């Protein structure tokens, strides 16, 4: 019996925020399915974020390279100059074509002063919006500019962009997850994604949104380890009874980025274990 075709064969994928969590898990899956991948984001081995892309100092790229062609750059994903250079370098690495941007990079904001409206600080608001909303805008703009110059591929597409929202935007949880700026930034990303999907469908460029629930990633360590939240998730995310995994999101990202989903744009795919349809107060 012949082996099944790999789902991302020949596709060139840039994952901004690909050095850990959902982005790293997605890089593995994309490579396993035949993609050529560049990951970019903060490097734990570098004390300060780079203002220009530099090679990742960790062994993450070497580990991924065992699965397929992979490059990696360290940078601050909210810096427009760094992103401009990144897209040039990534496109060159790919041989001149970018098929997929998966924009994952973001922060929670609590350490910066995010919280409920009456407690959220000016600096907390500014930092979260800068990284999450502005960072997504900058990366999406670079991708659109690159993809508009490309010819459609064998699936009829010039490119695909996938952004990441949050379950807190459509389904808030104010007592345990009362982060005003974070939720606002993710709502902005959803609006930007839909607007771009509407404008660029005629150009054969897709824009979709992945909306995770609470996922066990480095950014969510505080929440995942909180006993109150673990108890809350038993009913709030009943499909798992706890946090989801980065691999759960990677499988959904693979679907939205592969050519087989070429007729899907403007979609909001919730990967939340039932969060949005559950009360979270236990079984009556």
Neighbours of 155 (CB within 10 A): 15
Structure tokens at 256: 């939205």
List, in order, residues 6 or more apart from 152 with CB less than 8 Å away: 158, 204
List, in order, residues 6 or more apart from 160 with CB less than 8 Å away: 99, 100, 101, 205, 206, 207, 208, 256, 257
Task: Give the Cα separation of 208 and 284 in Å (integer).
Answer: 36
Considering the candidates 180, 182, 200, 232, report the single residue annotated as catalytic. 182
Q: Would you state the torsion angle of the CA atoms of residues 160, 217, 93, 159, taken in this order, to the nearest 10 degrees?
A: 0
Angle, helix 80-93 to helix 135-148, in steps of 10 degrees: 40
- Stated as kind and residue range, the H or E segment containing 269 is strand 268-271
Any catalytic annotation for residue 182? yes
Classify residue 47 by its DSSP letter: S
Give the residue among 58, 186, 40, 184 at the shortest CA–CA distance from 101. 40
User: For tokens 């989903």, what's the residue?
Assistant: 261
Neighbours of 152 (CB within 10 A): 12
Task: Give the Cα separation of 53 and 63 in Å (integer).
Answer: 20
Catalytic residues, which ones?
A: 182
């Amino acid at each position: 019996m012949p082996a099944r075709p790999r789902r991302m064969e020949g596709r060139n994928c840039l994952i901004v925020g690909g050095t850990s969590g959902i982005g790293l898990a997605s890089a593995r899956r994309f490579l396993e399915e035949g993609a050529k991948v560049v990951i970019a984001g903060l490097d734990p081995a570098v004390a300060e974020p780079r203002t220009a892309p530099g090679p990742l100092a960790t062994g993450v790229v070497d580990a991924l390279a065992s699965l397929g062609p992979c490059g990696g750059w360290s940078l601050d994903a909210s810096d427009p100059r760094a992103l401009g250079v990144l897209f040039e370098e990534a496109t060159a690495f790919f041989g001149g074509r970018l098929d997929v941007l998966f924009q994952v990079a973001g922060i929670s904001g609590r350490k910066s002063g995010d919280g409920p409206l009456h407690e959220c600080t000016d600096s907390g608001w500014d930092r979260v919006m800068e990284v999450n909303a502005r960072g997504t805008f900058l990366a999406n703009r670079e991708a659109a500019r690159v993809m508009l110059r490309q010819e459609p591929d064998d699936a009829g597409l010039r490119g695909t962009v996938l952004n990441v929202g949050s379950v807190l935007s459509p389904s808030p949880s104010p007592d345990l997850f009362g982060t005003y700026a974070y939720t606002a930034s993710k709502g902005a990303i959803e609006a930007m994604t839909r607007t771009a999907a509407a404008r660029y469908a005629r150009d054969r460029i897709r824009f979709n949104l992945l909306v995770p629930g609470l996922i066990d990633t480095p950014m969510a360590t505080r929440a995942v380890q909180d006993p109150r939240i673990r108890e809350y998730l038993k009913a709030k995310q009943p499909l798992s009874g706890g946090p989801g995994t980065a691999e759960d999101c990677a499988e959904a990202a693979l679907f939205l980025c592969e050519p087989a989903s070429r007729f899907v744009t403007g979609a909001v795919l919730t990967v939340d274990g039932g969060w949005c349809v559950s009360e979270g107060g236990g079984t009556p």
